[in-house]
Structure 1
Amino acid sequence: MTTALDLVTEAKKAINEVDAQTFKNSSTDERIVIDVREPAEYEQGHLDNAVNIPRGILEFDIMNNSSVKQQLKDPSQLKSSPIYLYCQSGGRSALAAESLQKLGFNKVVSIAGGYKALTESK
Protein backbone atom coordinates (compact mmCIF):
# COMPACT_ATOMS: atom_id res chain seq x y z
CA MET A 1 0.00 0.00 0.00
CA THR A 2 1.31 3.44 -0.96
CA THR A 3 1.59 6.00 1.85
CA ALA A 4 1.68 9.78 1.79
CA LEU A 5 5.41 9.60 2.54
CA ASP A 6 5.85 7.35 -0.50
CA LEU A 7 4.14 9.98 -2.66
CA VAL A 8 6.42 12.71 -1.28
CA THR A 9 9.51 10.57 -1.90
CA GLU A 10 8.46 9.97 -5.51
CA ALA A 11 7.62 13.65 -6.05
CA LYS A 12 11.05 14.70 -4.79
CA LYS A 13 12.64 12.55 -7.50
CA ALA A 14 10.77 14.52 -10.17
CA ILE A 15 11.10 18.11 -8.95
CA ASN A 16 13.70 20.76 -8.27
CA GLU A 17 14.36 21.32 -4.60
CA VAL A 18 16.67 23.77 -2.83
CA ASP A 19 17.67 24.10 0.78
CA ALA A 20 16.73 27.13 2.86
CA GLN A 21 20.12 28.83 2.54
CA THR A 22 20.16 28.48 -1.25
CA PHE A 23 16.68 30.02 -1.37
CA LYS A 24 17.74 32.92 0.85
CA ASN A 25 20.75 33.55 -1.40
CA SER A 26 18.73 33.41 -4.64
CA SER A 27 17.69 36.46 -6.63
CA THR A 28 14.38 38.02 -5.71
CA ASP A 29 13.85 39.42 -9.23
CA GLU A 30 10.56 38.21 -10.69
CA ARG A 31 10.33 35.27 -8.31
CA ILE A 32 7.05 34.29 -6.74
CA VAL A 33 6.97 32.69 -3.30
CA ILE A 34 3.90 30.64 -2.47
CA ASP A 35 3.09 29.28 0.97
CA VAL A 36 0.98 26.17 0.35
CA ARG A 37 0.02 25.72 4.00
CA GLU A 38 -3.50 26.26 5.29
CA PRO A 39 -4.55 29.85 6.15
CA ALA A 40 -4.34 29.25 9.91
CA GLU A 41 -0.72 28.08 9.54
CA TYR A 42 0.09 31.07 7.34
CA GLU A 43 -1.38 33.47 9.89
CA GLN A 44 0.92 32.06 12.59
CA GLY A 45 3.93 33.18 10.56
CA HIS A 46 5.10 33.33 6.96
CA LEU A 47 7.80 34.76 4.73
CA ASP A 48 7.55 38.38 3.67
CA ASN A 49 5.84 38.70 0.28
CA ALA A 50 4.69 35.07 0.32
CA VAL A 51 1.29 34.47 -1.22
CA ASN A 52 -0.88 31.97 0.62
CA ILE A 53 -2.49 29.46 -1.73
CA PRO A 54 -3.24 26.21 0.12
CA ARG A 55 -2.13 23.06 -1.66
CA GLY A 56 -5.72 21.86 -1.96
CA ILE A 57 -6.66 24.72 -4.29
CA LEU A 58 -3.28 25.66 -5.81
CA GLU A 59 -3.89 24.15 -9.24
CA PHE A 60 -7.28 25.88 -9.49
CA ASP A 61 -6.21 29.28 -8.13
CA ILE A 62 -2.67 30.03 -9.27
CA MET A 63 -3.48 31.34 -12.75
CA ASN A 64 -6.11 33.79 -11.49
CA ASN A 65 -4.68 34.78 -8.12
CA SER A 66 -4.46 38.58 -7.97
CA SER A 67 -1.58 38.56 -5.45
CA VAL A 68 0.48 36.36 -7.76
CA LYS A 69 -0.30 38.51 -10.80
CA GLN A 70 0.72 41.70 -8.95
CA GLN A 71 4.22 40.33 -8.45
CA LEU A 72 4.86 39.96 -12.18
CA LYS A 73 5.67 42.59 -14.76
CA ASP A 74 3.92 40.41 -17.34
CA PRO A 75 1.31 38.06 -15.80
CA SER A 76 1.11 36.11 -19.07
CA GLN A 77 4.61 34.83 -18.26
CA LEU A 78 3.54 33.09 -15.04
CA LYS A 79 4.29 29.56 -16.27
CA SER A 80 7.88 30.52 -17.08
CA SER A 81 8.49 32.60 -13.93
CA PRO A 82 10.51 31.26 -10.99
CA ILE A 83 8.06 29.96 -8.39
CA TYR A 84 9.26 28.84 -4.97
CA LEU A 85 6.90 26.76 -2.86
CA TYR A 86 7.09 26.01 0.83
CA CYS A 87 4.96 24.34 3.50
CA GLN A 88 5.80 23.48 7.10
CA SER A 89 8.39 20.77 6.46
CA GLY A 90 8.69 20.25 2.70
CA GLY A 91 6.25 17.42 1.94
CA ARG A 92 3.24 19.37 0.72
CA SER A 93 5.41 21.77 -1.26
CA ALA A 94 7.09 18.83 -3.02
CA LEU A 95 3.70 17.44 -4.02
CA ALA A 96 2.56 20.90 -5.11
CA ALA A 97 5.71 21.41 -7.20
CA GLU A 98 5.14 18.11 -8.97
CA SER A 99 1.55 19.08 -9.70
CA LEU A 100 2.48 22.49 -11.11
CA GLN A 101 5.13 20.91 -13.31
CA LYS A 102 2.45 18.64 -14.74
CA LEU A 103 0.44 21.79 -15.53
CA GLY A 104 3.35 23.21 -17.54
CA PHE A 105 5.11 25.45 -15.01
CA ASN A 106 8.79 25.04 -15.82
CA LYS A 107 10.62 26.95 -13.07
CA VAL A 108 8.99 25.52 -9.96
CA VAL A 109 11.14 24.85 -6.92
CA SER A 110 10.23 23.32 -3.57
CA ILE A 111 12.10 24.55 -0.50
CA ALA A 112 13.44 21.52 1.39
CA GLY A 113 12.52 21.52 5.06
CA GLY A 114 9.84 24.17 4.50
CA TYR A 115 9.05 27.05 6.83
CA LYS A 116 10.72 25.26 9.71
CA ALA A 117 14.07 25.16 7.88
CA LEU A 118 13.65 28.73 6.63
CA THR A 119 13.12 30.10 10.13
CA GLU A 120 15.90 28.02 11.66
CA SER A 121 18.60 28.86 9.08
CA LYS A 122 20.67 32.00 9.45
Structure 2
Amino acid sequence: MSMTPQQLVAEAKAQIREVDANSAAQRISAGAVVIDVREPAEFDAGRLPNAVNIPRGVLEFKTSDHPALANKDAEILLYCKTGGRSALATLNLQRLGYTRPVSMVGGFEAWVNAGQPVVTGTTSFDA
Protein backbone atom coordinates (compact mmCIF):
# COMPACT_ATOMS: atom_id res chain seq x y z
CA MET A 1 0.00 0.00 0.00
CA SER A 2 1.34 3.38 -1.02
CA MET A 3 1.23 6.28 1.47
CA THR A 4 1.58 10.04 1.15
CA PRO A 5 4.13 11.94 3.23
CA GLN A 6 1.26 13.38 5.27
CA GLN A 7 0.01 9.86 6.03
CA LEU A 8 3.50 8.81 7.13
CA VAL A 9 3.64 11.77 9.51
CA ALA A 10 0.16 11.05 10.86
CA GLU A 11 1.13 7.42 11.45
CA ALA A 12 4.29 8.53 13.29
CA LYS A 13 2.39 11.05 15.43
CA ALA A 14 0.03 8.30 16.56
CA GLN A 15 3.02 6.41 18.01
CA ILE A 16 5.08 9.16 19.65
CA ARG A 17 4.82 11.79 22.38
CA GLU A 18 4.52 15.44 21.37
CA VAL A 19 4.86 18.58 23.48
CA ASP A 20 3.95 22.20 22.80
CA ALA A 21 6.47 25.05 22.70
CA ASN A 22 5.95 26.10 26.32
CA SER A 23 6.43 22.55 27.57
CA ALA A 24 9.49 22.28 25.32
CA ALA A 25 10.96 25.39 26.97
CA GLN A 26 10.47 23.81 30.39
CA ARG A 27 12.17 20.61 29.21
CA ILE A 28 15.11 22.60 27.84
CA SER A 29 15.45 24.40 31.20
CA ALA A 30 15.46 21.00 32.91
CA GLY A 31 18.34 19.80 30.72
CA ALA A 32 16.74 17.96 27.81
CA VAL A 33 18.96 17.27 24.81
CA VAL A 34 17.68 19.45 21.95
CA ILE A 35 18.03 18.10 18.42
CA ASP A 36 17.17 20.26 15.40
CA VAL A 37 16.54 17.92 12.46
CA ARG A 38 16.31 20.71 9.88
CA GLU A 39 18.96 21.39 7.25
CA PRO A 40 22.06 23.45 8.22
CA ALA A 41 20.87 26.64 6.47
CA GLU A 42 17.57 26.49 8.39
CA PHE A 43 19.48 25.92 11.63
CA ASP A 44 21.81 28.88 11.02
CA ALA A 45 18.86 31.18 10.29
CA GLY A 46 17.43 30.56 13.77
CA ARG A 47 17.23 27.78 16.34
CA LEU A 48 16.25 26.90 19.88
CA PRO A 49 18.79 27.57 22.66
CA ASN A 50 21.29 24.72 23.14
CA ALA A 51 20.12 22.95 19.97
CA VAL A 52 22.39 20.55 18.13
CA ASN A 53 21.87 20.25 14.38
CA ILE A 54 21.61 16.68 13.11
CA PRO A 55 19.59 16.77 9.87
CA ARG A 56 16.75 14.29 9.46
CA GLY A 57 18.49 12.61 6.53
CA VAL A 58 21.46 11.47 8.62
CA LEU A 59 20.01 11.21 12.14
CA GLU A 60 19.72 7.43 12.32
CA PHE A 61 23.29 7.04 11.06
CA LYS A 62 24.66 9.40 13.75
CA THR A 63 23.13 7.77 16.82
CA SER A 64 26.14 5.61 17.59
CA ASP A 65 28.80 8.29 17.28
CA HIS A 66 27.23 11.67 18.09
CA PRO A 67 27.74 12.79 21.73
CA ALA A 68 24.25 14.34 21.90
CA LEU A 69 22.76 10.89 21.33
CA ALA A 70 25.07 8.88 23.59
CA ASN A 71 22.51 8.28 26.35
CA LYS A 72 19.47 6.34 25.12
CA ASP A 73 17.64 7.15 28.37
CA ALA A 74 18.11 10.92 28.21
CA GLU A 75 15.16 13.15 27.47
CA ILE A 76 15.53 14.22 23.85
CA LEU A 77 13.48 17.04 22.34
CA LEU A 78 13.35 16.99 18.55
CA TYR A 79 12.03 19.73 16.31
CA CYS A 80 11.93 20.83 12.68
CA LYS A 81 10.10 23.65 10.89
CA THR A 82 6.50 22.53 11.48
CA GLY A 83 6.67 19.14 13.24
CA GLY A 84 6.59 16.58 10.42
CA ARG A 85 10.28 15.71 10.13
CA SER A 86 10.68 15.69 13.90
CA ALA A 87 7.73 13.30 14.28
CA LEU A 88 9.36 10.87 11.85
CA ALA A 89 12.72 11.30 13.58
CA THR A 90 11.17 10.72 17.01
CA LEU A 91 9.54 7.50 15.87
CA ASN A 92 12.82 6.23 14.47
CA LEU A 93 14.72 7.07 17.65
CA GLN A 94 12.12 5.06 19.57
CA ARG A 95 12.66 2.17 17.17
CA LEU A 96 16.40 2.44 17.81
CA GLY A 97 15.88 2.04 21.55
CA TYR A 98 15.73 5.63 22.81
CA THR A 99 13.33 5.70 25.73
CA ARG A 100 12.39 9.39 26.08
CA PRO A 101 12.33 11.19 22.72
CA VAL A 102 9.58 13.77 22.19
CA SER A 103 8.67 15.89 19.18
CA MET A 104 7.69 19.54 19.44
CA VAL A 105 4.29 19.98 17.82
CA GLY A 106 4.30 22.85 15.33
CA GLY A 107 8.10 22.90 15.26
CA PHE A 108 10.23 26.03 15.08
CA GLU A 109 7.28 28.04 13.76
CA ALA A 110 5.29 27.26 16.93
CA TRP A 111 8.33 28.13 19.07
CA VAL A 112 8.63 31.56 17.44
CA ASN A 113 4.87 32.15 17.62
CA ALA A 114 4.97 31.37 21.35
CA GLY A 115 7.51 34.17 21.83
CA GLN A 116 10.28 31.82 22.93
CA PRO A 117 13.96 32.86 22.50
CA VAL A 118 15.74 32.21 19.22
CA VAL A 119 19.49 31.89 18.63
CA THR A 120 20.89 32.95 15.23
CA GLY A 121 24.21 32.76 13.49
CA THR A 122 26.40 30.27 11.74
CA THR A 123 27.83 27.35 13.65
CA SER A 124 29.91 24.42 12.54
CA PHE A 125 27.93 21.62 10.94
CA ASP A 126 28.23 18.72 13.37
CA ALA A 127 26.51 15.89 11.55
With normalisation by structure 2, the TM-score equals 0.84
Q: Does residue 63 of structure 2 align to residue 62 of structure 1?
A: yes
Q: Could you tell me which amino acid in structure 1 is paired with residue 79 of structure 2?
A: Y
- Identity, in percent, stands at 47
Q: Could you tell me which amino acid in structure 2 is paired with residue 41 of structure 1?
A: E
How far apart are the structure 1 equivalents of 2:90 and 2:44?
22
Q: Could you tell me which amino acid in structure 2 is paired with residue 38 of structure 1?
A: E
How far apart are the structure 2 equivalents of 1:117 and 1:98?
20
With normalisation by structure 1, the TM-score equals 0.87
Aligned residues: 114
Structure 1 or 2: more helix by fraction: 1
Q: Could you tell me which amino acid in structure 2 is paired with residue 33 of structure 1?
A: V
Give unmatched runs, 5+ long, in structure 2.
116-127
Structure 1 residue 48: Cα displacement: 1.5
CA contact (8 A) 1:53 1:62 kept: no
How far apart are the structure 1 equivalents of 2:16 and 2:4?
19
Give unmatched runs, 5+ long, in structure 1.
70-74
Q: Could you tell me which amino acid in structure 2 is paired with residue 48 of structure 1?
A: P
Q: Does residue 41 of structure 2 align to residue 40 of structure 1?
A: yes
2:85 matched residue in structure 1: 92
CA contact (8 A) 1:30 1:81 kept: no
Per-residue CA deviation, residues 60-118 of structure 1 (Å, 9 max, x unaligned), is 1133124x26xxxxx4xx10000000000000000000000000001000000000001
